[in-house]
Structure 1
Amino acid sequence: MDGYGPALDVARGFADRWLASLPTRPVGVPADPEALRERLGDLPDDGSDAVGVLEDLTAALEPGLVASGGPRYFGFVTGGSLPVALAADWVVSATDQDAAVAVMSPGAAVVEEVAGRWALELLGLPRDAAVGFATGAQTANIACLAAARHALLAAAGWDVEAEGLAGAPAVTVLLGAGAHATVVQALKLLGFGSRHAVRVPVDGQGRMRPAALGAALEAVPGPVLVCAQAGQVNTGACDPLDGIAAVLAGRDDTWLHVDGAFGLWAAASTTRRHLVAGADRADSWAVDGHKWLNVPYDSALAVVRDRAAMVRALSVSSPYLPLGELDPSARTLENSRRPRGVPVYAALRALGRAGVADLVDRCCDLAARAADRFAAGGVEVVNDVVLNQVLLRVPGVDVADLARAVAVDGTCWVGTTVWEEVPALRFSVSNWSTSAEDVDRSVDRILALRDQLVGQPVSARGAAGPASR
């Protein structure tokens, strides 16, 4: 077996070439999966040297890679990786620490403690809340709602961790009609069931209506779990959290959870934190790091006000694994995991309060710039652009055809969605490296491809060839 040096040299060389290409390479030219499989080959009988494996792997992999870390990737809500966060993630891989128990890596445990405290300060959340570093908003939502399940049922005299849900008091779940799929999935996995969740009406931007929530609460006699959100995935709108908390204030058998995957970072901005006013009145919060903080995948924070509820719901104990409340895995779903808080610490320290605020504000300003240019080009901007999301309808063109043409063209990448039962395009600005020039170039190219598609028969759409780049 070769030493580390030669293999790391190959990896570093590929990384340098890949990162240097992001500003200019086609963003997401479709690849042939079968060709990728053929290049990756079959399982060999005999091993190969590390250098050869990595050279073959990167050559086979690159045609199927999307430049999602680059400045013109506007699909989904996908941030790039800040250079300092990427480098910190390399440190995580090289040191190969298990962040489950503090004794296994005291350094990792303390870094995560500090990074969590800094995140609470930036987001305006209770300083004594428990923070767990999860893989993404999906697992962060599960962790938070597991704590909610424990607390609500414990208050009703039921030990759900010991007894399970059979025979347990019923917990009513209320969530906005525009709630994200990861919250619904968390409800499924935790035994609440998606069918029994009560959908609260929302306004035209997808924000939960506090009055409708109050009306729904009147019919609920027992424990209540309310799931609100900061940053609707299509419009970027935030639920009126202060109003929602006020509706719940008169009851002591409720738990308010905020799915703030990307929108909760608005709290770091002095000009946009009003959008999440009242967030600090909730009981738990889920927020991604690999979206708007721009740290590498996988990274998210599960935050719970009631530290004991989180530990009771998530921790595990064994004679060989005596986890305590201060051990990181007492607040996550895993016993074996990388110290995800290290890149978060690096990003927060490198940016500081002002840098995080600037990252949020620049992305929002660029989204507004894109919306103005789309509107001037005859595209309907469906949403109020309050954060980094722009929702578009394109008259005269099937948006799926347009999205395919954009992907083939390679100038940028946009996603499709459905809003109020009508297909739409979603243009999301989440990357630290995106510039006004990137936005202008991308909008202009999308409009040009739109013009090529207008009037074509359906069978011919989506066939627009790549432009010179």
Structure 2
Amino acid sequence: MDAREAALRRAHGHAVRWLASLSERRVPARASVDEVVRALGAELPEDPGVPADVVDLMAAACEPGLTAFPCGRFHGFVVGGTEPAALAADWLVSAWDQNCVMRAASPAYAAAEDIASAWLLDLLGLPGHSAVGFTTGATTANFTCLAAARDAVLRRAGWNAARNGLAGGPPVRVVAGADRHIAVDLALRYLGLGAPETVRADEQGRIDPEALAHTLAAGGPGPTIVVLQAGDIHSGAFDPFPAAIRSAREADAWVHVDGAFGLWAAASPAHAHLTAGCASADSWATDAHKTLNVPYDCGLAVVRDAPALRAAMGQRGDYLIHDEQGDPVDKVPELSRRGRAFPVWAVLRSLGRSGVADLVDRLCRHARAFAEGIAGIDGATVLNEVVFTQVCAGFGSDARTDRVLARLLDEGDTWISGSTWHGRRVMRISVSNWSTGDEDVARSLDAIRRAVTCA
């Protein structure tokens, strides 16, 4: 116990110092992978060490190689920070060390997951009887939902994929917008469904509902899944859900919504109109470690037809203790799994309904401030309609835009990623951190102005 307490005290001290450094530290890492490897030591020691000393070594060796993801000036990759209650709860998750597979094994975890699930469905305006699985992230959440979709549409076509596999069964047709996220394609590959049939999207990435209706009306050799999105990765745009879902229903298709960060618009009265009609879908995927700001990792797979999710994901073993109400393991791919619902419960309990809405609204307000600030820079162009938390901008030629991005990372006062959108190099700003304030936005804009001047 003494060794464990000493190690925990050292870890606490290092964590507090790291968090205190975020407001002033350089955002990109200072050290390379090779430098950190040398500091950690590549050779496995022959003899045991003192746990507290190991913690000190890890902290000292890794700190220069850490990127300040939790900093209010990190605006890349749609990475959230960690809200205080969620961070503290996550420390307890590690200390409690629960394997959250069965209700009987950890009643505390099952209770937290039940409550957090009900709160999430309420906040997001989704059907209250839906099943919620806590996954590693939106990629696995998409996989989980699409697995339930695949098996369900095949059952409707008279084919039992769980028993027979896919070979010999009717082909599953998947239709998605041209600007979908790559996670959708990855999930479909995992599921043996191959690349989706694509439908054109508008300049903001929204699926064209008329093109979708025409594609679906053309029919196909097997049952259909339609994938829509809440929050385009570049523009933040939302698909026109009422028209798109209406066409999907006419084709007897399962509708899945990839809403990794954008689904949280539903939790804000000021932005809920962006998700109008979305609740009529059959399944939804989102992240809690993005807009909700819990620690990595936590995704959410929501399926209206709870038995369909259990049929796709459920596992049975003679040594397991099964509960008649169902178990957490029935809703996700993993058997051994971390207590992800504890931090989700903590952040929802800490913020409450109005706090979650305020969090979403603040992120959107900061995105608009970025767009307004960039629009005032000579030679800069904001390329998207800023409806949520994403901003894309160009600075003349592709080469100049890349020079601006390189200068930003070299200076290090902010982190903003580059991307290619509609064949053009862009600066892509994702405002996702609860701790981002007006001063962080102002400092980041100043850094952009300096980078433009030097480019």
- TM-score of Structure 1 vs Structure 2, range by shorter chain: over 0.9
Task: Name whichever of 221-230 and 91-100 sits farther off.
Answer: 221-230
Alpha-carbon distance between aligned partners in 1 of 2:50 and 2:207, rounded to the nearest angstrom: 57
CA distances 1:373-411 after superposition (whole Å, capped 9, x unpaired)? 101013110000000100011125533332222112111
Question: Are 1:348 and 2:348 matched, yes or no?
Answer: yes
Question: Are 1:111 and 2:112 matched, yes or no?
Answer: yes
Contact in 1 for aligned 2:75/2:415 (Cα 8 Å): yes
Question: Are 1:136 and 2:143 matched, yes or no?
Answer: no
- The aligned amino acid for 1:419 is W
Three-state SS of the structure 2 residue aligned to 1:18 is helix
Q: Shift in Å at residue 250 of structure 1? A: 2.3
Q: 2:314 — aligned with what? A: 315
Alpha-carbon distance between aligned partners in 1 of 2:26 and 2:281, rounded to the nearest angstrom: 43
Question: Are 1:227 and 2:244 matched, yes or no?
Answer: no
Q: 1:450 — aligned with what? A: 452
Alpha-carbon distance between aligned partners in 2 of 1:392 and 1:293, rounded to the nearest angstrom: 25
Q: Shift in Å at residue 171 of structure 1? A: 1.1
Q: Shift in Å at residue 2 of structure 1? A: 5.2
Alpha-carbon distance between aligned partners in 2 of 1:89 and 1:8, rounded to the nearest angstrom: 14
Q: TM-score normalized by structure 1?
A: 0.94
Q: Shift in Å at residue 339 of structure 1? A: 1.1
Q: 2:279 — aligned with what? A: 280
Residue 443 of structure 2: which of 420, 429, 441 is its match? Answer: 441
Q: Which sections of structure 1, spanning at least 5 residues, go unmatched?
A: 454-469
Contact in 2 for aligned 1:2/1:49 (Cα 8 Å): no
Q: Shift in Å at residue 4 of structure 1? A: 1.6
Q: Shift in Å at residue 186 of structure 1? A: 0.2
Residue 417 of structure 1: which of 410, 414, 419 is its match? Answer: 419
Alpha-carbon distance between aligned partners in 1 of 2:303 and 2:123, rounded to the nearest angstrom: 16
Alpha-carbon distance between aligned partners in 1 of 2:429 and 2:93, rounded to the nearest angstrom: 32
Three-state SS of the structure 2 residue aligned to 1:102 is coil
Q: 2:92 — aligned with what? A: 91
- The aligned amino acid for 1:425 is M
Three-state SS of the structure 2 residue aligned to 1:103 is coil
- The aligned amino acid for 1:182 is A
Three-state SS of the structure 2 residue aligned to 1:98 is coil
Alpha-carbon distance between aligned partners in 2 of 1:216 and 1:297, rounded to the nearest angstrom: 38
- Aligned pairs for 1:7-86 (under 5 A) are 7-41=7-41, 42-86=43-87
Task: Name whichever of 43-52 and 284-293 sits farther off.
Answer: 43-52
Alpha-carbon distance between aligned partners in 1 of 2:58 and 2:225, rounded to the nearest angstrom: 47
Q: Shift in Å at residue 47 of structure 1? A: 1.5
CA distances 1:288-315 after superposition (whole Å, capped 9, x unpaired)? 0000000000011100001111001001
Q: TM-score normalized by structure 2?
A: 0.97
Q: 1:328 — aligned with what? A: 328
CA distances 1:123-157 after superposition (whole Å, capped 9, x unpaired)? 00000000000010010000000000110001111
Alpha-carbon distance between aligned partners in 2 of 1:363 and 1:49, rounded to the nearest angstrom: 43
Alpha-carbon distance between aligned partners in 2 of 1:174 and 1:150, rounded to the nearest angstrom: 16
- Aligned pairs for 1:396-411 (under 5 A) are 396=397, 397-411=399-413
Q: 1:260 — aligned with what? A: 259
- The aligned amino acid for 1:404 is A
Alpha-carbon distance between aligned partners in 2 of 1:48 and 1:100, rounded to the nearest angstrom: 33
Q: 1:457 — aligned with what? A: none
- The aligned amino acid for 2:239 is D
Q: Percent identity?
A: 47
- Aligned pairs for 1:114-129 (under 5 A) are 114-129=115-130
Q: 1:369 — aligned with what? A: 369
Task: Give the number of aligned pairs.
Answer: 450
Kindly report the root-mean-square deviation, in angstroms, between the aligned alpha carbons of the 2 structures.
1.2
- The aligned amino acid for 2:330 is A
- The aligned amino acid for 2:403 is D
CA distances 1:426-457 after superposition (whole Å, capped 9, x unpaired)? 0111111111111111111111111112xxxx
Q: Which sections of structure 2, spanning at least 5 residues, go unmatched?
A: none
Q: 2:155 — aligned with what? A: 154
